[in-house]
Amino acid sequence: MKNSLKEKIEEMRDWLVEIRRTIHMYPELGFEEVETAKLVGIWLEKFGLEVKTGIAKTGVVGLLRGERPGKTVAIRADMDALPMEEASQIPYASKIKGKMHACGHDAHVAILLGVAKFFSSNPEQVKGNIKWIFQPAEEGGGGGRIMVEEGVLENPKVDAIFGAHVYPQIPIGTVGICEREALAAADRFTIKVMGKSGHAASPHLAKDPILAAGHLITQLHSIISRNVNPLESAVITIGKVQGGTAFNIIPDEVELLGTLRTLSSSLREALKARIEEVTRGTARSFGMDYQFNFEYGYPVLVNDPEMTRLVASACAKGIGDEHVKNLGLSLGAEDFAYYLEKAPGSFFRLGIGNEAKGIVHPYHSSLFDIDEDVLPFGVEMFVRIIDQFLGLELTK
Ligand code: NI
C-alpha cells in the first residue's frame, strides 16, 4: 500500500504544478482572492465535496463526509499574495504588476487541492469527516480570525486541525515540527505624551514632552528586565519616535510607536497593562497627560503536543524519523493561531530548500520560489496525517 500511495500521489504531479503555477501567475492580495477562490471552488465541486464560498469575503470550505462515522479533521491553506514585484524571470512569474506569491501560499492551495483529489477518489475508505479550509488574508489581514468567527470549525465540529507552511530553511523532503509555542503574538502600540509647547529658553513656562518621552523610553525597557521571568522571552521595541519641529521650540506632544512580542497570552496581557501603567506614571511625574492605544496582532501560536507528535509519527512513516526536524520557536507570527485557540492541532513546516535548484531565497524576497517537489510531498504528508488521525489505515 505504501508504494501505491506514493505512486498515486505522484500521478497528480503535473496537475499540482499547473494549479500552483496558475495561482502564482495571477496573485491576489488579502480579501481580494476572487479568482483563486473560484478555482478552488470549481475543483472542490468537481471532487464532489460540499462546498461553501464567500466565508470571510473570499474564503472557501469543502467538506467530505465519510461513509462510516468517525472524527472530523480540518486542514487549512491561506490564499493571499503580497504587494511586491517579482524579480525573477521564471516562465510562470507573476503577470500582475506589484503583486507576488512570495510566501508560498500558492503551493499551500495546490497541496490542499491535491489532498482533496486523493480522498475524493476513495470516499469509501473515509470514516469521519474531512474539512478543507481555504482562507483569505493571512498576511496581516487576519482572515483566519474571521473564518473562525464565521464558524468554519463548527458543523461538523472540528476535532483537530492541521496547517503547514513551506519553509526554505530546511531541505526539500523534510518536515519541521515544534511541540508547543511555535510563533509569537505580535502587537502594536502607540503612545502620545502630551505636554505644553513653549520657548526653548523658558522651559518653566512649558511642559516638555521630549524630556518625558526620553524618560519613558528608558522606563519601558525596564519592564522586560524587571517584570518578565528571566526564563521566559518577550520583546518591547520602540521603533518610531516623533515630536518637535525646531531647535528652539518645546513641542506640544511626542508620539512613540512600538511593538510587543510575547509567547504566552498571560504575559501578553500583563505586559500590555504594564506598558500603560509605566506610561501613566511617567507622564504624571512630569505633570502631563498621555494617550495609549494598543492594537492586538496575531495571538501566540500554540501547537498541541499530542497532535504535533501525531504529525511527526505520521510523516516519519513516509520519510523516516531522520527527516522530521524539531524546530525551535520563532518570533514571527501566523494567523493559524486563531484556529488553534479553538481546536487542538499542529502547524508544521514543509522543507523547500534546494541549493542545486537555486531555491535559497527567504520569504517575502522578490526572488522567492519553491522546489515544486514539495507539492506531491506535501499532499503525501497531509494524507498520512489525516489517515492516522481518522484511523483509516490507508498507508500501512
Ligand atoms: Ni506565509
Min mean pLDDT across 119-133, 190-204, 341-355 is at: 119-133
Residue pair 222/216 in contact (Cβ under 8 Å)? The answer is: no
Q: How far is the CA of 110 from the centre of ligand 1 (A)?
A: 14
Asked whether the predicted pLDDT for residue 114 surpasses 90, the reply is yes
**Percent of all residues in the chain with a pLDDT value above 90, rounded to a whole number:** 92
Asked whether the predicted pLDDT for residue 2 surpasses 70, the reply is no
Q: Nine-digit cell at 123? A: 470516499
Q: Where are the beta strands (DSSP E) in the chain?
A: 50-55, 59-65, 68-78, 127-135, 160-171, 175-177, 181-183, 185-194, 198-199, 234-243, 249-250, 253-262, 289-295, 301-302, 324-326, 345-353
**Annotated catalytic, 334?**
no
For residue 3, what pLDDT is reported? 58
Averaged pLDDT, 225-254: 95
For residue 328, what pLDDT is reported? 86
Q: How far is the CA of 257 from the centre of ligand 1 (A)?
A: 25
Closest to 170 (Cα-Cα) out of 328, 335, 337, 318: 328
> pLDDT by residue (tens digit) across 331-377?
788 999 999 999 999 999 999 999 999 999 999 999 999 999 999 99
Asked whether the predicted pLDDT for residue 396 surpasses 60, the reply is no
For residue 63, what pLDDT is reported? 98
Q: How far is the CA of 243 from the centre of ligand 1 (A)?
A: 35
Q: How far is the CA of 139 from the centre of ligand 1 (A)?
A: 7
Exposure letters 338-348 (e unless 16+ CB within 10 A, then b): bbbeebbbbbb
Q: How far is the CA of 267 from the centre of ligand 1 (A)?
A: 25
For residue 222, what pLDDT is reported? 96
Q: How far is the CA of 204 from the centre of ligand 1 (A)?
A: 53
Asked whether the predicted pLDDT for residue 301 surpasses 80, the reply is yes
Residue pair 99/28 in contact (Cβ under 8 Å)? The answer is: yes
- Mean pLDDT (the chain, rounded): 95
> pLDDT by residue (tens digit) across 59-109?
999 999 998 999 999 999 999 999 999 999 999 999 999 999 999 999 999
Averaged pLDDT, 248-257: 98
Of 139, 253, 372, 380, which is the active-site residue? 372
Asked whether the predicted pLDDT for residue 178 surpasses 70, the reply is yes
Asked whether the predicted pLDDT for residue 218 surpasses 90, the reply is yes
This prediction has a pTM of 0.87
Residue 105 phi/psi, 5-degree rounding, is: -65, -25
For residue 124, what pLDDT is reported? 85
Of 167, 298, 338, 339, which is the active-site residue? 298
Work out the pLDDT band at 382, boundaries 50, 70, 90: very high
Q: Nine-digit cell at 276? A: 500603560
Per-chain residues with Cβ under 5 A from ion ligand 1? 103
> pLDDT by residue (tens digit) across 312-324?
999 999 999 999 9
Report the 10 Å Cβ neighbour count for 70: 17
